[in-house]
Amino acid sequence: MGDRTSPPNTGAVVSVRGSVVDIRFDGHLPPIYSVLRAGAERRIVIEVLAQPDARRVRGIALTPTQGLARGMKVEDTDGPLRAPVGKGILSRMFDVFGNVIDRGAALSDVQWRSVHRAPPLLARRSTKSEIFETGIKVIDVLVPLERGGKAGLFGGAGVGKTVLLTEMIHNMIGHHEGVSIFCGIGERCREGEELYRDMKEAGVLPNMVMIFGQMNEPPGSRFRVGHAALTMAEYFRDDEHRDVLLLIDNIFRFIQAGMEVSGLMGQMPSRLGYQPTMGTELSGLEERIANTDTGAITSIQAVYVPADDFTDPAAVHTFSHLSASIVLSRKRASEGLYPAIDPLQSSSKMATPGIVGERHYALAQEIRRTLAQYAELKDIIAMLGLEQLSPEDRNVVARARRLERFLTQPFFTTEQFTGLKGKLVSLKDALDGCERILRDEFKDYPESALYMIGSIDEAKAKFKPGQPAAPAAPAQKTEAKTDPKPAAESPVKAAAEPSPKPGKMSQAKVEHAADTHES
Ligand SMILES: Nc1ncnc2c1ncn2[C@@H]1O[C@H](COP(=O)(O)OP(=O)(O)OP(=O)(O)O)[C@@H](O)[C@H]1O
Ligand SMILES: [Mg+2]
């Protein structure tokens, strides 16, 4: 990639420790962020991160270092890591180096740009406060997303971050006129491949770019893949003036890769073993996700929360960058209430009357209040039973449980294993449904009538008051009266915590729930 007219600047490997390589240059010392190449066919790529003395640079390998030996020749490419940009990258899939990995034709019509770029100046930034509808009830009603904002999907292992992100891609990409960029950081290769196939089938690939640095790749490559994705996003925003939807699964893996790099480079770890530079690294990336007057980058990021601990420094740092935080809870997942979003922990700065309108705001507040009251009453119910509550409180419980069920939704992406057809619900329908539940219009309906439906009219179709209830309904109702938690919860919960594959359990649960509720 460098200037090929003069002889290349070469050095020799002094030491190799895992991914960290020291190289001696007798001539000109390559600057920080230079990319060096070594090995057969110059296949090993090293990025310079430090210059320990006048003759040596220390770099981190972005590829496996297998075969690299002391004394081997290293070539300075005379430039930083670059990513391809241009119309030619649409509908393609890349790795961190900008190589196409979809077995398609070679790239044409592209330029190469450095992945290290500064965030736009404050004066160039703009903020519009517009809502980005997702078609997912609980998000649109309680945690509205911002067009041009950053939203995070927080959750521990296997609570449904990837499923929710994929569903959002499915719901939004079709209507989104701009470009979508999916960046996979440190997650499973299988998921990347599945997504590529799904997008191809859905016919949305022509406006999409995918870039992956998955979990099998060295830390250096996982650390840089986010920068490469942003470089592409910035091209569409700044050069083509288009809106960009940037999806990242998973931003925690970026922090984790930074931690590995920092450890390998011999820096002293900070709190909980994280790198001392975590805040700077994360903001270096997040601040580039910005809106200018010519185009906006809307981003949705999955954030893995280690051990479900929301006070983890990685989660806390990520929270501070986002305009909407969607928190997934293991408890809800174990109850089969998918999407397992905890409305009381999730928040959006768009949920103000000035932006969403008075009616929406008032409704959202009332829903939150009802759910919060129910959460407080849960302890009393567990100790004394539902009967001991005042009639008023009992009404709150009934409303809250119906709301909780109405805010579940069958997903298109989970059709195969839940057996339920996916539903897209407009904001208006979602608000209407919640309002009617809050006005007690459905208090004679069994809770199951509201579970996994789209708009509220489907509950009417499922069950008509006056007719005898569906066979599963009375059982469900008594269960609700005597035991506030579904019977199957405890074994699932017990298994969910230590098991590495809690998803399997919840999946069985949904199938089971679907069976009983369909009847
Ligand atoms: N909306 C949903 N409907 C039904 N099942 C779901 C839903 N969301 C998640 N699940 C179940 O949970 C499992 C795990 O979901 P997912 O892979 O999205 O978790 P994750 O949070 O991305 O996990 P990881 O941190 O391991 O990447 C799924 O395989 C599925 O069984
Ligand atoms: Mg995942």
pLDDT tens for each residue of 326-356: 999 999 999 999 999 999 999 999 999 999 9
pLDDT of residue 351: 92
Q: 159, 185, 424: which to mutate for ligand 1, most atoms within 8 A of CB?
A: 159
Give the model's confidence band at 4: pLDDT under 50 very low, under 70 low, under 90 confident, else very high: low
pLDDT of residue 417: 82
pLDDT, mean over the chain: 86
Ligand closest to CA 412 = 1
pLDDT above 90: percentage of residues in the chain: 63
Rounded to whole angstroms, how far apart are CA atoms 450 and 453?
6
pLDDT above 70: percentage of residues in the chain: 88
CA-closest residue to ligand 1 atom 29: 503
CA-closest residue to ligand 1 atom 15: 160
Q: Which helix (H) or strand (E) holds 460?
A: helix 457-462
Residue type, 125: R
43: Cβ contacts below 8 Å, ≥ 6 apart: 37, 63
Distance from Cα 318 to the centre of ligand 1, integer Å: 21
Residue 317 beta carbon below 6 angstroms from any ligand 1 atom: no
Distance from Cα 164 to the centre of ligand 1, integer Å: 8
Question: Is residue 470 over pLDDT 80?
Answer: no
Rounded to whole angstroms, how far apart are CA atoms 463 and 470?
7
Report which of residues 507 and 97 the model is more confident about. 97
CA-closest residue to ligand 1 atom 9: 160
Ligand closest to CA 158 = 1
5: Cβ contacts below 8 Å, ≥ 6 apart: none
Nearest residue to 151 via CA among 355, 315, 311, 298 = 298
pTM, 2 dp: 0.85
pLDDT of residue 45: 95
pLDDT, tens digit, 9 for 90 and up, residues 99-129: 999 998 999 889 999 999 999 888 888 877 8
Nearest residue to 245 via CA among 303, 295, 302, 190 = 295
